[in-house]
Amino acid sequence: MSTNKNPDFLDGLVEQLAEKLLPVLQKKLQNEAIEQYEQRRLTIPEAARYIGTSEDCLYNMCRDKVIPHFKIGAKNSRKPKIIFSQRSLDLWIKQQETENYSLSSG
């Protein structure tokens, strides 16, 4: 019994498999990318770079409760860590753009 398969048969089999697997893999990768984006958390330096401002300005915005953020640390901690959700920052930026545009065009 010969173990050599017809190369055309194997190529056809690989092509059929790729046709079936490619959409499944693309959907899985897209879902993972969306999940990673929604769960991505940024520190003060990362968020400052992300929105294009200084860290001092960002600290002031947090203190004034102007920008969405949350704090991590023990209750009554003097130095809690400030964290930002990338998704929340994107939504906040979009809201700022909308508000500023409607103010300037009104």
Whole-model pTM: value is 0.61
47 and 89 part of one domain = yes
**SS3 labels along 77-103:** CCCCEEEEEHHHHHHHHHHHHHHHHHH
Q: Which among 92, 100, 98 has a CA at the least distance from the CA of 47?
A: 92
Summarised one tens digit per residue, pLDDT across range 7-51 is 788 888 888 888 888 888 888 888 777 777 677 999 999 999 999
- Whether residue 15 is contained in a domain is answered as yes
Reading across the β-sheet that carries 41-42, which strands appear in turn? 41-42, 81-85, 70-72
Give CA separation, 15 vs 7, 8, 18, 20, 29, in Å.
12, 10, 5, 9, 20
Question: By residue range, what is the domain housing residue 55?
Answer: 41-94
DSSP structure class, residue 31: H
What pLDDT is stored for residue 1 in this prediction? 47
- Whether residue 85 is contained in a domain is answered as yes
